[in-house]
Structures are given as structure tokens and as C-alpha cells.
Amino acid sequence: MNGAVGSAPRRAFAASAPAAFALAALAVTALMLVGCARQAPYALRNISGLLPPLQFQLTDDNGTPVSEQSYRGDVVLLYFGYSNCPDVCPTTLATLAQALRGLGASASKVRVLFVSVDPQRDSAAVLKRYAAYFGPQVIGLRGPDSELIPLTHRYRVAYHRDPPDRDGNYAVEHSSAVFIFDQRGRVRLLADSGDGAAAISSDLRRLISAG
């Protein structure tokens, strides 16, 4: 009798061990799946670590000197262009504005820094009016070539201003990439004119959530 009673727990343990191992395996698999979900690719191009952190010294469209520290804690979109740009700049900024509207209240945690590559014509007042067309998160920045050239080199941005004609008019060419930095100033993503507002909005939401 005692032997029978004593053997019952051993049989119960032997029967439950495979189930316990199976549950453990399922738990590990679930954790792996959660980890994979967290590492899902961004819709935009992931350039984390491929460029230096956000760093600059410029003047904003209120005429106030600013640096990267002025926007620390925000997700920052850095875009180079000029207010007289006939197509690429307004189209890109309109797309970014649409992406920000898709964020709802979270848009307050994002800043679009529009750096002019034509500071001769883009005064602070001109930039302020231009940026206002696209929403309160868009801020115009400007500076002399002595500040602009090192900044464009830092992020491998190309631009060129043609010599003025007899009326003082000239054309400007520039790269169209949008560099996206997280709240700590680290470069994370790259967007271009082919990316839609929905993709940009989705990735911005992920960066905001990541903190």
C-alpha cells in the first residue's frame, strides 16, 4: 500500500514533465516573436549610426540663435531647401505636414527644421512666412555660408547656387533628402520625395513611442 502511494507522485511527475517542457518552449518562442516584432523594419530607410548626431549653430526664423540643444527631446526632421524652390521643397514640406497631421496630438513632439541653402534671399521674415504655410512644427533656419557649408558636409548634402543674371535672379540646386533624428539627437531614418505621408507618420510614431 505504501509503495503504491509512494509511486503515484513519481508517475504524475513523469506524465507532466513533457507538458512543462512544451509550455517552456512555447514561452521562449513567444518571447522570440515579441522580440522580432519589436525589430520590424521601418517603412523608411534605416540609417542609424551611419551619420553623425544632430549638431549645428544657426538662427531661427525669429532671429534667435539656436543649436541642436534647442530641440533636444523632440524628434527632428532636418531638410535643406529654399523658399523660392518651385516644386521639390513645397511638395516635400506638404508631405511632411500631412504626416504630422496623421500623428494627432503627438505632432507636438516633432520639429521640422527647414535649413535654407539660399540665405541671401531667405531672411528670417521670409522663412517665417514660408514655414507658417506648412504648420507650427516647421521652423525655418538660416546662417551664413561659413555655418551652412560645414553643416551640409556633415550630412553629405549637396547644393549649388548659380551666378546671378543681370536682374539678380539665380537658380539653386540642392539635395532633397529628409534626415530624421530621435529625441536624443541620433540619426535614425532617411526619407525622400518618393516616400508617402502614411509611411513617414508611421515611423515617426514609432520613434516617439521609443522615447
Question: What is the structure's pLDDT at 32?
Answer: 42
The model's confidence at residue 38, banded by pLDDT at 50, 70 and 90, is low
* Separation CA 170–CA 58 (nearest Å): 24
pLDDT tens digits along 133-187 = 999 999 999 999 999 999 999 999 999 999 999 988 999 999 999 999 999 999 9
Domain parsing of the chain, residue ranges: 1-40, 45-210
- Residue that wins the pLDDT comparison between 34 and 112: 112
Q: Tell me the percentage of the chain whose pLDDT exceeds 90.
A: 76
Which residues on neighbouring strands pair with residue 74, listed in sequence order? none
First to last CA, the chain: 65
Here the cell at position 3 is 509503495
Query: Is the CATH code 1.10.10.350 the one for domain 45-210?
Result: no
